Amino acid sequence: MSRLSERPGEVIDRTRPMDFSWNGKPYRGYAGDSIASALAASGVRVFSRSFKYHRPRGILTASFHDPNLMVQVGDEPNVRAGHRLVEEKMEVSAQNAWPSLGFDAKGVNRLLGRFLTPGFYYKTFMSPRSLWPWYQRVLARFAAGGVVGVDPQPGRYDHRYAHPDVLVAGGGPAGMAAAIDAAEAGAAVILVEEEHRLGGHLRWGDSDDLGALEELSAAVLSHPGIEVMVDSVVTGRYDHNWVAIAQRGVEGVDERLVKARVKCLVVATGTIERPYVFEGNDLPGVMLSTAVRRLINLHAVRPGERAVVLSANGPGDSAIADLEEAGVEVAEVIDARGDDTVIKASGRMGVQGVIDSRGRRHDADLLVTAVGWTTTTTLLNMAGDRPMYEPRAARYLSKSLPYDVLATGGIVGDGSTDQLVQHGTAIGREAARRASVVKFQWLTAVPTGVTRQPPDTSEIEVPPLEAERHPELFRSSTHGFVDYSEDVTSKDLFAAAAEGYDSMELAKRYTTVNMGPIQGKLEAVNAVAIHGEATGSSPLETSTTTWRPPYAPVSLGVLAGRQYEPVRYSVIQPWHERREAKPLVAGSWIRPEHYGDPVAEVTAVREAVGIIDVSPLGKIDLRGRDVPKLLEFVYVNKWSKLDVGKVRYGIMCNEDGVIFDDGVTGRLGADQYMMSSTSGGAAGVWNWLDDWLQTGFPDWDVKMTAVTDGYASINVAGPNSRELVGRLTEIDLRPEAFGYMEVRTGVVAGVPGCFLWRIGFTGELSYEIHVPSAYGLWVWERLLEKGEDLGVRAFGIEAQRIMRLEKGHFIVGQDTDGLTQGHGMGVDWAIKLDKPDFAGKPELMWQAERDDYRRLAAIQTEDPAIVPPEASQIVAGDVIKGRITSSRMSPTLGRSICLGQVDPDLAAPGSRLHIRLSDGVTVAARVLEHHAHFDPEGTRLRG
């Protein structure tokens, strides 16, 4: 092949050469060249080796959807060389060839082809079983595709939202016309085109086509109402016209995902030319008519020297003219509209000869086929359409579309450029009108009090666009490749049918036809037709093809967009960082685990005073008359008589009686409550309450506001806590004025709007101060400053966990699991089965009648120095009798302490247990009387 002199419609810029490499050797193309056209212009014929038989493959469609043109570009695998433009210094290499494209060692598979029948791997490699891992490694080596590296250049990706009135997918004549007229009618339009330029098939057409293209694209590009995205693909149409576009060529990023809520979608994605199945149809040099027209007219590349053309349609005939003009000798034209056809193409690394159905052999290095079109119905399928096969036109046509989706262009029918434009124009106007109807529906779906003018409801008349008659041509009398990327032949489809895989779905799965990176775009219709031939049925008429998203493969990078996972920090985080707190991931929060010495932190709290940042605690402000009813319902305990100023501990269970959260709720005012939940459970509790209020009790007067981030929360704990807090507030802290389990509101360190509750997870006298978050850090620092002489020290989660374990308080999710119901956790006193109703009550009533559930128990090992790791199993012989849920070395007691879940027969105080450590050794332990290892009476807390 070689470069032709200038073509009227060429897209290359001959003044800008591009130097790149192919398999390590230097090549030159021009700006505007695809990788494939640049290589073809330099005489490259073989671009890849096929997946299974390692057959040489060359240009077939010269477009994005060319199965033979998948290459590696730098660290990017599976790049479509028929689409991607060459760039300076690009490093391109062939995939799937070893050691080289010219000599491929795995090509021996070609000879073995007759033994590698479909599903051959299901039939062998079974014995001896010991060899199976070895077979696996051999099979794995045959995996197709490019390579990914451990440390590639990171790609840059982004997301954008768009809200167009009309989105047109496909920038051919019909699509462009639709965009223009929709925009003229006032709609905000986005026009998306997969290729690098607008125009569709007009681009490689004659001078009339080029003229029309010029006019249309100028109108599109200059229209202020149209945003044009080229080199961009509509990858999917999801429910409610939620449309995804993978956009390339945006400044600053490699790719961008545009998510558009479209009022009316116009699908103008046209048709794709279909290959023909015959012996040798995959040889380099067998090309579709659109491929040669692209090569000649867009890239000025002569696709061969001597051609045979098999044509069944007008565009195929035009290819003949193009070839002649490009100086290709057209040795023979076989008119497929009659009885003639191609039987075989022969050659080793490319076409050398063609045998036709009259038995004549033609010398040729190029065989061009034009045997029909496949409609690109993916987006229609996704809109719920089930396109039907129309034998007269030999292609699938749209059957029924939802109101907000329209189709135009080749996907609907055929016609002259004028007819296509007329159809597109009408569809564009109709799309704009429907968009306004949809918009009206959206705007009036919510009561706003604004009166709106209903839009015009008279449909625009759309001129018919008939699909032309076209002969049904799928396969010649010989067998050839149906699916190039999967190396599936028509013979394989016959074999599959004969073996009993006689429905298309089974045949597809068995042979893997349609399963490759081309997603069936080229081969699906041939596959169905040949399967029908093999089974003696006519499945084309009865089947529809379901194309699953995405329309074209889309990078994980662009789907993800900017890679970030939000994390949450408390407002006191700057201080934690200065003190080099060890970060701990707790759900979405990053919290201080400790500040270097958790044991010293414990000692400070037990002997003096400590402060901990508990801002992540879930906080929900509840107001309204019916809050008590809500509390009564979601908590298992009694809530009706909670006086203002009081706080109560509560447990929540799911409908199945399983504990899912605990926390305290305080009554701040007559109709105002503050609920707290665990940090990890905050979102779940919120959803739970909201669910019940919306579905169970919509008439209750309860207003909820999530205020977790609104308050910074600081727990001040230890014998000196009253003294310390007293130095910062006027609130009367005397025990008789502010008792245990009470709440007060007031000013702390000059900050108004704080509330304090006297509770304690650590077992020490403590005050939990909730400060409007902007002042959290301020109050924290004041506490440290004012408490210096009191021995104040910040403590982290680890110290808190040790202390709560010393006190025997359980943590939901750690000491409970997905089946832990209310009873058995030492809180039976709280479960009020005599309440009329509450979430989980029926299951808890069942549970109360049984005795077979595990109990939470405080456990101490007989050897005080051994701390059994959490999750160690409690065993009797080999039988599991429970597990250690929490364990630590207690600095206060100087011994190991545990909480665990144990079977009822071992739960009684004093029971002797055996704990199996991870190395298999068992240690003896004992169940305590109380859950608390330390201060079971709680004298310190209430002091």
Interaction residues for other proteins, span 128-187 (CB under 8 A): 129, 132, 136, 139-141, 143-152, 154-155, 157, 159
Q: How far apart are CA 42 and CA 705, in angstroms?
A: 69
Q: Closer CB to other proteins, residue 691 or residue 781? A: 691
In angstroms, give the least distance from the CB of 483 to other proteins. Answer: 13
Q: Which of 127, 457, 640, 695 binds other proteins (CB under 8 A)?
A: 127
Stretch that binds other proteins, among 178-186, 264-272, 337-345, 500-508 (CB under 8 A): 500-508
Residues of span 514-553 touching other proteins by CB under 8 A: 517, 519, 548-550, 553
Smallest gap from residue 662 Cβ to other proteins (A): 16
In whole angstroms, how close is the CB of 448 to other proteins at the nearest point?
A: 28
d(CA 762, CA 742): 17
**For residue 661, which of 819, 856, 812, 506 has the smallest C-alpha distance?**
812
96 Rama class: left (phi>0) / alpha (psi -120 to 50) / beta: left
CA geometry: angle at 845 spanning 839 and 849, to 5°? 160
Query: Which residues, 619 to 658, sit near other proteins by CB under 8 A?
Result: 656
Give just the sign of the alpha carbon dihedral 634, 636, 639, 644: negative
Which positions from 420 through 439 interact with other proteins, judged by CB under 8 A?
none
Q: Which is nearer to other proteins, 321 or 560 (CB)?
A: 560
What whole-number distance in Å separates Cα of residue 484 and Cα of residue 67? 6
Using the rule CB under 8 A, which residue among 53, 64, 278, 501 binds other proteins?
501
> Do 342 and 357 contact (CB within 8 A), yes or no?
yes
Q: By the 8 A CB rule, do 312 and 274 touch?
A: no
Q: CA-to-CA distance for 554 and 233, rounded, in angstroms?
A: 9
Stretch that binds other proteins, among 277-285, 417-425, 666-674, 812-820 (CB under 8 A): 812-820
Nearer of residues 263 and 940 to other proteins, judged by Cβ: 263
**Shortest CB 939 distance to other proteins, Å:** 32
The answer for residues whose C-beta is within 8 angstroms of residue 597's C-beta and 6 or more apart is none
Distance, in Å, from the CA atom of 692 to the CA atom of 860, rounded to the nearest integer, reads 42
34 vs 318, which CB is nearer to other proteins? 34
**Residue 236 beta carbon to other proteins: minimum distance, rounded to whole angstroms:** 6
SS3 324: helix
> By C-beta, is 296 or 507 nearer to other proteins?
507
868-887 residues in contact with other proteins (CB under 8 A) are 869-873, 875, 878, 880, 883
* Amino acid identity for residue 928 in this structure: L
List 769's β-bridge partners, or say none. Answer: 714, 756
Shortest CB 883 distance to other proteins, Å? 6
Angle (deg, nearest 10), helices 173-184 and 417-445? 40
User: Of the listed pieces 462-470, 584-592, 704-712, 754-762, which binds other proteins according to CB under 8 A?
Assistant: 584-592
Site for other proteins in 666-725 (CB under 8 A): none
**Nearest distance in Å: CB 891, other proteins:** 20
Q: What strand order describes the sheet that includes 189-192? A: 226-229, 189-192, 166-169, 264-267, 405-407
**CA separation for the pair 106, 119 (Å, rounded):** 19
The reply to whether 901 sits near other proteins by the rule CB under 8 A is no
Taking the least distance from each CB to other proteins, the nearer of 552 and 604 is 552
Nearer to other proteins, 495 or 525 (CB): 495
Total number of residues binding other proteins (CB under 8 A)? 99
Whose Cβ is closer to other proteins: residue 676's or residue 873's? 873
Q: Scan residues 197-236 and list those touching other proteins (CB under 8 A).
A: 236
DSSP 150: S
Alpha carbons 98 and 91: distance in angstroms, whole number: 18
Give whichever of 114 and 348 is closer to other proteins, judged by the CB atom. 114
CB atoms within 10 A of CB 132: 11
Shortest Å, Cβ 685 to other proteins = 17
Site for other proteins in 832-871 (CB under 8 A): 843, 846-847, 850, 852, 869-871
Please state whether beta strands 766-772 and 659-669 pair in parallel, antiparallel, or not at all (unpaired). Answer: unpaired
Q: Give me the least distance between CB of 493 and other proteins, in Å please.
A: 12
From 730, 304, 741, 773, select the one nearest 573 (Cα to Cα): 773
* Residue from the set 319, 326, 393, 590 that interacts with other proteins by CB under 8 A: 590
x/- letters, 329..368, toward other proteins (CB under 8 A): ----------------------------------------
* Distance in angstroms (rounded) separating the CA atoms of residues 241 and 165: 11
Which of 432, 535, 400, 534 has its CA nearest to residue 479? 534
To other proteins, the closest distance from the beta carbon of 781 in angstroms equals: 25
Q: Which stretch binds other proteins (CB under 8 A): 123-131, 181-189, 397-405, 572-580?
A: 123-131
Min dist CB 549 to other proteins, Å, is 6
Query: For residues 622 and 611, what is the distance between their CA atoms, to the nearest angstrom?
Result: 27
Sheet containing strand 25-31, edge to edge, reads 25-31, 13-22, 91-94, 70-73, 76-80
Q: Which of residues 144 and 355 has its CB atom nearest to other proteins in the complex?
A: 144
User: 504, 545 in Cβ contact below 8 A?
Assistant: no
Residues 724-743 that bind other proteins (CB under 8 A): none
Here's the x/- map for other proteins, 39-78, by CB under 8 A: it reads as ------------------------------------xxxx
**Shortest reach from residue 797's CB to other proteins, in Å:** 10
With tokens 């296509």, the residue in question is 420
Phi and psi torsions of 84, nearest 5°:
-65, 130
Q: Which is nearer to other proteins, 118 or 285 (CB)?
A: 118
Shortest distance (Å) from residue 705 CB to other proteins: 24
Binding track over 247-266 against other proteins, x by CB under 8 A: ----------x-x-------
Q: Which of 6, 8, 26, 115 binds other proteins (CB under 8 A)?
A: 115
Taking the complex as a whole, the smallest distance from the CB of residue 562 to other proteins amounts, in Å, to: 9
Place of tokens 């597990």: 883
- What is the length of the chain? 943
Query: Which neighbouring-strand residues pair with 90?
Result: none
Q: How far is the CB of 556 from other proteins (least distance, A)?
A: 4
Closer to other proteins by CB, 88 or 505: give it: 505
Residues 95-114 that bind other proteins (CB under 8 A): 114
Helix, strand, or coil here: 876? strand
3-state secondary structure 349-375: CCCCEEEECCCCEEECCEEEEECCEEE
Residues 705, 690: Cα–Cα separation, whole Å = 10
Which of positions 373-392 make contact with other proteins (CB under 8 A)?
Answer: 382
